[in-house]
Chains A and B, each alone.
Chain A
């Protein structure tokens, strides 16, 4: 018997753990074919060999090993993520483990509390591997604004992984973690997922608690899962979501069993195709990707309906008023007094604040704080902020109208595949245009998922996005599940970074 077990374990190691999904790993743990400690050692080894990718800001391996040994001793397989080591975006506060939000101003911040979402993962049996790099305060679409340096896309060493959850996307695609979580304010989960050939879901606003997440734009921020396939995505969403009385915008409803209810039968389901997402200068291959997606849905028995979301083109300008306005208010707390970096310069309190924030924030964060302060300032509030909130109502109204007619909407996730490091770093507007297909969803508080759907002529992955009305995560997961089977996306990385 003992020899048999050893033989089985050997087989698993030969069968590379890097190529299997979170759900398959969980099966191995539950059937005792692999221990939590063995898993922890595997991912720690991958992380140590993956330093070139710069996807981690902090690791906590001593704790990981201790927790996994503890799990193996107790052998409690009741949770959704039994003994599974997982790394998370460094925007989630983790008790006694440094949380930087990718900023110098929080370089040495060690929270004394745990975010609700990460706590939910630990309650399901998961174990922390470390904290993943991201754009500073989640402000960016390429992970180039991080104080801790840019993250490399595992596809090629000169490509960005997208952002702001770029460290999460890279660590996942490179198998430095079997699954991860990010946050999405304007596309920060879906765009990097699309750029790395992975799955990312932004839940309905209020489904996952925001408590303990470093705030960027509070009416837009949502945490969500990033995984290798749709089944894993359903499982992670199930683990992390749920009502939290500590978040006043948390939705009080019964937890759903997304993974158990996953069903790829989508016959008769109505899918809307919004004509406004056919933007100027959209590359032919994105158009083709979208058409292929439509064909797959038709083949699966879905009904395709042309729809209109007439205010789509106003979503980005609206976002770049609302998000900076909320950011400037949220980031007012970084004053160098209660926590975070403090400048040695300045002759009085006000000057100390000014130098602290000048030295502590990077350029993109400063731009957004200044824009936000300007659009909220006396004399300009009506022209910018109030106007934007009115247009936001129209954008939400477009979606509400569409969902009277269709169950879900299919669009491309991004207007291009991953771009080169430095390519857009000096032009804020061209960087912002990256989020053209993802931002409307945040403005309307809706759930959306990005799944890998094909590759461009360079062989880089491209994603398709499915959007549904509030709290219909199961619906888009099911459609994505059906599409995933048909698309059969494959990505083999030669692990050049090791």
Chain B
């Protein structure tokens, strides 16, 4: 078995997705079948193969390190679920 329920809980924690115990069983089964499916790749010997790093044959463009926009605070804040005039509001982080 590629993954057990405790590992699923740990991965959910890493993914920042809270998980109901009632859903754990079916989700674990789904993940097991997906991981079993992808493990077909182990049939292939890839020791001598270099991994693909970029799908297109080009190096990244460079640009001047200069300001191209700014003064858009209102636009940035516009879609926040909780904000005041200048800031995003988040739950208390430090006691």
Contacts and interface: CB of A to CB of B under 8 A. Distances in A.
The answer to whether A binds B is yes
A112 B37 CA distance: 41
B18 A428 contact: no
B14 interface: yes
Nearest to B78: A112
Contacts of B19: 358
Contacts of B90: 337, 349, 352
Interface in A328-343: 328, 332, 335-342
B67 interface: no
A149 to B, nearest CB: 21
A377 interface: yes
Contacts of A204: 56
Nearest to A336: B81
Contact of A370 (B31, B39, B51): B31
B63 A391 contact: no
Contacts of A245: 61, 63
Interface in B50-95: 50-56, 58, 60-61, 63, 72, 75-76, 78-82, 88, 90-93
A249 B56 contact: yes
Interface in A172-229: 204-206, 219
A391 B80 contact: no
B79 A429 contact: no
Contacts of B46: 387, 390-391, 394
Given A370-B27, A373-B14, A445-B56, A339 B37 contact: no
A314 B44 contact: yes
A131 interface: no
Given A320-B34, A367-B34, A387-B41, A373 B15 contact: yes
Centre residue among A245, A335, A338, A355 by max chain B CB count within 10 A: A338
Contact of A369 (B17, B50, B52): B17
User: How many residues of A sit at the interface, in one of the four size bands?
Assistant: 35 or more
Contacts of A392: 51-52
Interface string A409-443: 00000000000000000001100100000000000
Contacts of B27: 366-367, 370
A384 interface: yes
A15 interface: no
A337 B56 contact: no
Contact of B92 (A317, A348, A396): A348
A460 interface: no
Interface string B16-50: 11111000000100110111011111101010011
A156 interface: no
Nearest to B95: A348
Contacts of A355: 18
Contact of A388 (B41, B61, B72): B41
Given A245-B63, A369-B15, A445 B55 contact: yes
A394 B79 contact: no
Nearest to B16: A353
A439 to B, nearest CB: 13
**Highest count of chain B CB atoms <10 Å: which of A252, A313, A370:** A370
A389 B49 CA distance: 10
A371 interface: yes
Contacts of A235: none
Contacts of A77: none
Given A342-B81, A358-B18, A370-B12, A348 B93 contact: yes
Given A317-B40, A358-B19, 9 more contacts: A219-B54, A248-B60, A347-B91, A358-B18, A367-B30, A367-B31, A370-B17, A428-B30, A444-B55
Interface of B: 3, 7-8, 11-20, 27, 30-31, 33-35, 37-42, 44, 46, 49-56, 58, 60-61, 63, 72, 75-76, 78-82, 88, 90-93
12 contacts: A108-B79, A317-B39, A320-B37, A337-B81, A337-B88, A337-B90, A342-B81, A346-B91, A354-B18, A357-B15, A428-B30, A428-B34
Rank and list the top 8 A-B pairs by shortest CB-CB distance, nearest first. Answer: A339-B79, A389-B51, A354-B18, A445-B55, A342-B81, A390-B46, A112-B75, A393-B52
